[in-house]
Amino acid sequence: MEIFLSYTVVGIVAGCVYALIATGLVVTYNTTGIFNFAHGAIAMVGAYTYWQFQDDFQGWGINPVISLILVLFVLAPLFGLIVERVLMRPLQGASVDLTLVVTLGLLLFLVGVAQIAWDPNVTRNLPSFFNGAGFNIGYVQVSYHEVVAVVATVAIAISLRILFNNTRTGIAMRAVVDNPDLLAMAGGRPVRVQQLAWALSCSLAALAGILLAPINRLDILLLTLLVVDGYAAAIIGRLRNLPLAVGGAMAIGLGQNYLNGYAHSGFLNRIQFTIPMIVLFIMLILLPQDRLKTASFSGAVAPRVAGLKSSLIWGAVLIVGTYLVSLSLSDINLRTGASGFALALVLLSLLLLTGYGGMVSICQMSMAGLGAIAMGHVASGGSLLGVLAAIGLSGAVGALLALPTLKMRGLYLALATFAFATVMDQAVFTQVFGTGGNLAIGRPHIPGIPTQSDQAWMMVCCIVFTAAAVAVLAVRRSSFGRKLVAVNDSPAACATLGVNVNYTKLIVFTSSAMMCGLAGVLIGGVTKQVDALTFPALLSLVALLLARVGGINTATGVLLGAFTFALFPVFVPHLPHILHNQFLLTGIAAVSVGRDPNGIGGRIAEGAAYLRKAFGMEAKPQFVATGPVAGTAAAVFLEEEANLVSAGR
Amino acid sequence: MSAPAAEKTGSTVRRDPHAALEIIDVSVKFGGITAVSDVSLSARRGQITGLIGPNGAGKTTTFNVITGLQEPTNGRVFIGEREVSHLPPYRRSRLGMARTFQRLEVFGSLSVYENVLAAAEFHHSWSDDATPPRLVANEIVERVGLSTVSEERVDALPTGIARLVELGRALATRPDLLLLDEVGSGLNHEETAALGDLMIELTRDGTAILLVEHDVELVMRVCDRIFVLDFGRLIANGTPEQIQKDPAVQAAYLGADTEEQK
C-alpha cells in the first residue's frame, strides 16, 4: 500500500507537469492555430535561466523567490511577446508546413543558444523548492516541491477555466483562431489576445521546466525532450479541450509511474519512459483525420525537374570534381566529405518523400540507425550482405510505420514520426548499443573496387548519392513520379481516377526508409562505429530542416543542405564564437531561408533559368533544376577551404 | 465478405434494371444537419441525366457518396449490377466511373498535358486497355480543346479552363459512367455549346452521364432525364419538359434564384 501511495504521489506530480505543458500548448494552439514544437525548448531555457539567477556558485546567487518571479512573470512573458512579434505574427494564415518549419527551427535555435550559454559538459544542479524539505503521510514522503507542483497546476487549471469561459478576454482568445478579422470587426483586438496567449504559454512552459528539472536532471536535450512527452496529453485533448488534456496528463503520469513501480524488470519496465510517446502515437492513429484533402510541404511552384541527360552530366561532374578534390584532402576532411554525402542521401530520401510526396517525416535518422544496426550485425559487419540487410530492415520498419500513419498529413504525421524517432532513441538504440557502448561497422568489401581507405569511402559515398539522385529524378519523371505528385496535389481526385492512394504512399514511405537504411551504412562506414548518440531524434529534425533550407524539391537543394551541415567543422573557425553551434545555425536558417518552400536550390534554379534566357538559349527551362551543379561548386570551394584550414594547423 | 451477399440481394433491390448507376435511399447527416435525405436516383447508359437544385441542395454530397468520398448515413450505391456501397473510392472508379469536382481538384503542379497523361497512365495500369497513355492523352487534350494550353501549369490557369482539364482527366480513364459537377461554369457561350455537343457525342458511345449544372439552358438542352433536389430531398424527376412545368420545381427555383443571381 505504501508503495502504491508513493508511486501515486510521484505519478500525480508527473501528471501535473505534463498538464502544465499541455495547457501551454493548448493556449497557443487555440488562439493562433499554431502547434508550438518549440514548447519543450522554451521550458528548458526557462529552467536554465532560473538556475542562472539563483545558483550561488556558478550563477548569480539571487534569492530563489525573486528569481522565480523574475523568470515566470517578467522574462518568460517577455520572451513570449518577442516570439509572437518576430516569428509567429507573420505566420497568420500560413500553411501547416510553414508553421512546422518555423517552430522546429525555433526549437533547434533555443537548444543551440542553451548549449552556447551553458556548456553541456558542466554538471549543474537545480535544487527543489525548499531544498527538498517535505513531510510524511504515513510512510509516504511528500516534498514541498511536489506540493507546489500540484497546487500550482490546480490553481492554473481553475483560473484558465474561468479565464476562457467567464471573461471577455478569454472568450476573445477562443474566438480569435476561428476568425481574427471577424473578432477585430466585433471590437476585439486579435493581436493583443495572441500576445497574451504567447506570454502565458511561455510562462507555463518555464514553470513546467523549473518543476521538472530538479525531479530529473538539468540537461539541455533531456529536458527539451521530456517536455515533448507532455505533447501526448495535449493531443489527448485534441489540442483544444483543456480538461481532457489535463485528465490525459494525469493518466500518463500515473501509468508511467505504476509501470516503474510494479514492472521491475523486463519489457514493461524498459518502455516506461516511452509511454507518453506511445500514447501520443496511438492517439494520433485514433484521431479522426481530415478526409482526403489537399496540402503540401513543398513549394506551390516547384522548379522543373532535371532531364536524364542533364542529371547524368551533372552527376558525372560531381563525381569527377569530388575525385579531384579528394586527391588533396587530409583523412579528417575525407571523412567530413564522406559524411556530407551520407547525410545528403538521408536528405534525398526526404526529396522523394516530402518534396514530391508531401509527407513530412521526422524519423529519417532513426531509419538510418536501423540500417547501421543491420550492417553491424550481419556477416561480421563488413559485407555486401550487410548492405542488403540494412536496406531490408529499414524498408520493413518503414512499411510497418507507414501502415498506421498513411492517413495522416502535416502536423499529425510530423508528431507521429517524431514520436517514433523518440521511442527508437529511448527504447531501441540504447538497448541495442547499450549505454555508452557501440557497434563496429565495416566498410563492405566489393571485389575489384577499393572501399577501405578514407578516400575510397568518400568516393563510395559520393557515387552512391549521385546514383540515388539520378534515380530519384528519373522516378520523378516517370509515370510513378506523376502519380506521386498527383497524390500529393489531390488525393481525392486520384482516388476517383482509380488510384490506390494508400498503396502509393506506402511504396514511397518504404522506398524512402530504404534509402535511409543505405545512408546508415555510409554513415557507419565513415566512423567505423556507431552508438546510441549517432542517430538521435533531434538529428532527424535537423535533417528535415536542412532539406527545407537547401530546397526540398531539388537534388541540388538537398546536397547543399547536407554539406552546409557536414562542413560545419570546416568553416566554424571563420565564424564569430557566438555562432559556434550547428543547432543554432540550422535553427536560424530554418526560420529565415526555410520560409521559402523551394529553399536555396529553388533560387539557384531560378537563377539558372534567368541566365539561360539571358543568353538566348532554349526558352523552355527543361533542366533548370540544375542537378548537382551548385553542389559541386560549393563542395569544391569548401573542400579546398578545408584543405587550407588543415594545412594551416 | 458482405459484398457478394449484398450483390445477390442487390438485383432484387434495384429499381431500374437498365441503370449504369443507381443509388437507393441515400441519406447523409453532418452532425445534426441532414444534407441528403432518402434520395434515390439512377442514370442510364447512353443518356445524360441531370441533377439540379439550388445551392446547398446536396448535389455535390450526392456525388461524393456515389464516388465513395463520403460515407452515407444510410443507403446503397450500385454501379451496373454491382453493389459498391462498401468499396473504397479507387475500387469504384475502376469499375468505369470518373468524375469532376465543383471545387477544383486538379494536379496543380503538373501541366495540362501531364494531368491528362497521369489519368491515362492510371487507367493503363489497372485496366486491360493497351493503348499507350501518351496517345490517349494527345487525343483527349485535342478533344476537349486544350491543345493551346497543354504545356501550361494547371494552377496558373483560369477556373473555367481548369474545369476542362478535370473533364479531360476524367475522360482519359475511358469511363462508362461520367459524373460532371458544374463543369460548364466559367465558360463562355460558345465554349458551353461545344461542351454540350461533346457530352451528347459521348453518350452516343454508350457513356452514361450524370450532370450537375447551374446553366439551366444547357441542362434543358442536353438532358434526357432530370432529378431535382431541394434541401437534400428529391422533389421531382422527369423529362426536361415535365420538370419545366413542375410547380414544386418552380417554387424551389423562384425562391432560390434571387440569392443565386448575386
Asked if residue A96 has pLDDT above 80, the reply is: no
Contacts of A32 (CB under 8 A, 6+ apart): A88, A91, A92, A176, A177, A194, A197, A198
Please give the CATH superfamily to which domain B2-96+175-260 belongs. P-loop containing nucleotide triphosphate hydrolases (3.40.50.300)
Q: Tell me what pLDDT residue A639 has.
A: 52
Nearest CA of chain A to the CA of B235: how many Å?
28
Give the other-Cβ count within 10 Å of A456's Cβ: 17
Separation between Cα atoms, residue A474 and residue B111, nearest integer Å: 18
CA-only gyration radius of chain B, Å: 18
Of B69, B70, B94, Cβ closest to residue A498: B94
Does the structure show a pLDDT above 70 at A640? no
pLDDT greater than 70 at residue B212: yes
User: Nearest CA to CA, how far is B118 from chain A (Å)?
Assistant: 6
Q: Is the pLDDT of residue A105 over 70?
A: yes
Task: Select the residue from B92, B122, B123, B150 to test the A interface by mutation, using most A Cβ atoms within 10 A.
Answer: B122
Model confidence over B4-13: pLDDT tens digits?
444 444 445 6
Q: Does the beta-carbon distance from A493 to B101 stay under 8 Å?
A: yes
- Residue among A14, A6, A2, A3 nearest A255 (CA): A14
Q: In this structure, are residues A351 and A559 in contact, taking their beta carbons and an 8 Å threshold?
A: no
Output the nine-digit C-alpha cell for A571: 568553416
Report the chain A residue with the minimal C-alpha distance to residue B134: A479
* CA atoms in the 13 A half-sphere facing the CB of A376: 21
Contact with chain B for residue A489, Cβ under 8 A: yes
CB atoms within 10 A of CB A56: 8
Q: What is the pLDDT of residues A267-318, one digit of tens each?
A: 677 677 788 888 888 888 887 765 434 344 444 566 777 788 888 998 999 9
Interface check for A522 against chain B (CB to CB < 8 A): the answer is: no
Kindly tell me the burial class for residue B207, based on how many C-beta atoms sit within 10 Å of its own C-beta (0-12, 13-18, 19 or more): buried
Test B98 with A497 for CB contact under 8 angstroms.
Answer: yes
Segment B155-202, tens digit of pLDDT: 888 988 999 999 999 999 999 999 999 988 888 899 899 999 999 999
| Share of residues in chain A with pLDDT > 70 (%) | 90
Beta-carbon count within 10 A of B215 CB: 17
Rounded to a whole number of angstroms, the distance from the CA of B107 to the nearest CA of chain A is 5
Chosen for mutation from B109, B114, B124 (greatest number of chain A CBs closer than 10 Å) is B109
Dist. CA A182–CA A39, nearest whole Å: 28
The pLDDT of residue A300 is: 52
**Which residues, including other chains, have CB under 8 Å from residue B4's CB and lie 6 or more apart?**
none
Q: Which of A553, A609, A563 is nearest to A458 (CA)?
A: A563
Q: How far is B150 from chain A (nearest CA, A)?
A: 14
Taking residues A576-581, what's their average pLDDT? Answer: 74
| Residue B95 predicted with pLDDT over 60 | yes
Q: What is the pLDDT of residues A533-566, one digit of tens each?
A: 899 999 999 999 999 888 888 888 889 889 888 8
What was the pLDDT predicted at B186? 84
Residue A135 CB partners (closer than 8 Å, separation 6+):
A141, A142, A144
Note the ipTM here. 0.90
Residues 6+ apart with CB under 8 A from A609: A304, A621, A624
pLDDT at position A95 is 74
Between A362-376, A543-557, A628-642, B234-248, the lowest mean confidence (pLDDT) is in A628-642
| Helix, strand or coil, per DSSP, at residue B199 | helix
C-alpha cell at A311: 542529371
The verdict on a CB contact (< 8 Å) between A498 and B133 is: no
> Mean pLDDT over residues A163-181, rounded?
74
Across the interface, which of A483, A492, A501 has its CB nearest the CB of B105?
A: A492
Pairwise CA distance, residues A522 & A562, whole Å: 14
Residue A409 C-alpha, separation from nearest chain B C-alpha, in angstroms: 17
Lowest mean pLDDT among A194-198, A494-498, A637-641: A637-641
Helix axes A2-32, A220-236, angle to 10 degrees: 80
Chain B residue at shortest CA distance from A487: B107
Residue A10 CA to residue A489 CA, distance in Å, equals 48
pLDDT digits (tens, 9 = 90+) for A585-610: 888 888 887 777 778 877 777 777 77
Residue A410 half-sphere exposure toward CB, CA atoms < 13 A: 18
pLDDT digits (tens, 9 = 90+) for A219-273: 998 888 877 788 889 888 888 888 888 999 999 999 888 888 787 766 677 677 7
The pLDDT of residue A301:
61
The mean pLDDT of B76-92, rounded to a whole number, is 94
Cβ separation B107–A485 shorter than 8 A: yes
Which residues in chain B are closer than 8 Å to A500, comparing Cβ atoms?
88, 90
- The pLDDT confidence band at residue A642, using thresholds 50, 70 and 90, is low
What are the pLDDT digits (tens) for A271-283? 777 888 888 888 8
What average pLDDT score do residues A179-186 get? 69
Looking at residue B260, its pLDDT comes to 42
Closest CA to A276 of A401, A103, A422: A422
β A438-440/B233-238 pair status: unpaired
Query: Are A27 and A187 in contact, with CB atoms under 8 Å apart?
Result: no
At B259 the pLDDT is: 43
Question: For residue A168, what pLDDT band results from cuts at 50, 70 and 90?
Answer: confident
pLDDT number for residue A238: 83
Percent of chain B with pLDDT over 90: 71
Please say if the pLDDT value at position A134 is more than 90. Answer: no
pLDDT in tens, A416-469: 999 999 889 888 888 888 777 889 898 998 888 888 999 999 999 999 999 999
- Determine the residue of chain B that is closest to A495 in CA distance: B90
CB A218 within 8 A of CB A125: yes
Between chains, do B106 and A490 touch, taking CB under 8 Å as contact?
yes
Q: Which residues contact A27 (CB under 8 A, 6 or more apart)?
A: A160, A173, A197, A200, A201, A204
Average pLDDT along chain A:
84
- The predicted model gives B116-141 an average pLDDT of 95
> Rounded to whole angstroms, how far apart are CA atoms A302 and A602?
8
Predicted local distance difference test score (pLDDT) of residue A256:
86
- Residue A376: phi, psi to the nearest 5? -70, -25
Of A291, A485, A492, Cβ closest to residue B110: A485
For residue B143, which of B93, B100, B197 has the smallest C-alpha distance? B197
Task: Kindly report the number of other CB atoms within 10 A of residue A155's CB atom.
Answer: 10
Please judge whether A495 and B153 are an interchain contact, meaning their C-beta atoms are less than 8 angstroms apart.
no
Mean pLDDT of chain B: 89
* A300 has a chain B CB within 8 A of its CB: yes
A208 pLDDT above the threshold of 70: yes
A122 touches chain B (CB under 8 A): no
